[in-house]
């Protein structure tokens, strides 16, 4: 036990606590914060940062899913529909990365550009969630059930590709899509379902990256040591906490990170 604690890196543990707590409270901020932190603050190669974050996210969100499942705030039929699209899309994306055998420099450039774009969409969905919902209610309204089913599967497929390439999008983008597709679903079920779907999605994508050799298990252990307790605790208090200020602050940080990836 003592040797295990000595092997942990305090800065990575602290990063895990901050990001895990944020995910537990709002359902968003995992990949969109952790991957940039690993790249920009710790200097980890983008491919390794994405692969490590994916496994980190799958374990961390599994803890959050247990809490949400206990509180009956997961709609498992919605999770299944998302997974119908995301898991095949994730597997195909990993296979493409493997067979194309993209060199290190090209992979770094591709991942950082996709990551920047994914972070931009995430920040926009956080900042303008209410406006998007109002516009959607006025222009579209409630969709017929068969169309909702198809769009949910399609949303999962889009998230599968995006998350596999950048580890970003399963949280904020997934939440916004679910709110649009299921306007009558309680907010707690939206967050719980989104977190539950992220578990198999990030696990499959992370396992794919492990075969590509892009996971740092030393970093992963330290991140999980901080994030698992944090996401469990914050998932318990999320029902009583307002996340508006957190979402706005997170969006501003993500916009700054996006600019850093694209222009510096």
- Weakly modelled stretches of the chain, pLDDT under 70: 1-6, 25-30, 102-110, 112, 126, 140-141, 172, 238-254, 256-264
Question: What are the CA-CA distances from residue 91 to residues 43, 61, 84 (Å)?
Answer: 28, 20, 12
* Residue 59 counted as domain residue: yes
Instruction: For residue 37, tell me if it sits in a domain.
Output: yes
212-221 per-position pLDDT tens digit: 777 898 899 9
Question: Residue 257: which residues within 8 A CB-CB, separation 6 or more?
Answer: 36, 40, 119
Q: How far is CA 23 from the centre of its chain?
A: 9
Q: Are 17 and 222 within 8 A, CB to CB?
A: no
Q: How many domains does the chain have?
A: 1
250 is a domain residue: yes
- Specify if 6 maps to a domain: no
Q: For residues 66, 67, 70 and 71, what is the CA-based torsion angle, rounded to 10 degrees?
A: -150
Q: Which two tokens stand for residue 225?
A: 């040591």
Whole-model pTM? 0.77
Whether 5 is in a domain gets the answer no
Q: Which domain holds residue 55?
A: 11-263
pLDDT digits (tens, 9 = 90+) for 165-204: 877 777 767 877 887 888 778 877 887 898 899 899 999 9
């Amino acid at each position: 036990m003592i040797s295990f604690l000595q092997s942990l890196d305090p800065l990575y543990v602290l990063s895990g606590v901050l990001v895990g707590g944020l995910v537990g409270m709002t359902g968003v901020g995992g990949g969109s914060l952790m991957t940039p932190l690993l790249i920009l603050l710790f200097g980890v190669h983008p491919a390794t940062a994405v692969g490590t974050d994916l496994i980190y996210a799958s374990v961390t969100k599994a803890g959050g899913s247990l809490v949400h499942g206990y509180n009956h705030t997961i709609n498992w039929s919605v999770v299944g529909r998302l997974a119908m699209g995301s898991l095949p899309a994730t597997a195909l994306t990993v296979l493409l990365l493997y067979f194309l055998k993209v060199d290190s420099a090209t992979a770094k450039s591709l991942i950082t550009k996709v990551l920047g774009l994914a972070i931009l969409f995430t920040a926009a969905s956080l900042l303008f969630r209410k406006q998007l919902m109002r516009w959607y209610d006025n222009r579209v309204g409630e969709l017929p059930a068969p169309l909702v089913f198809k769009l949910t599967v399609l949303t999962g497929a889009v998230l599968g590709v995006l998350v596999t390439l950048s580890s970003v999008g399963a949280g904020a983008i997934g939440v916004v899509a679910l709110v649009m597709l299921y306007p009558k679903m309680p907010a707690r079920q939206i967050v719980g379902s989104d977190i539950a779907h992220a578990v198999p999605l990030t696990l499959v994508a992370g396992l794919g990256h492990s075969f590509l050799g892009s996971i740092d298990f030393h970093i992963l252990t330290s991140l999980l040591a901080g994030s698992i307790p944090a996401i469990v605790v914050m998932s318990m208090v999320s029902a009583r906490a307002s996340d508006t200020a957190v979402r706005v602050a997170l969006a501003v940080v993500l916009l700054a990170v996006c600019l850093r990836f694209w222009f510096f």
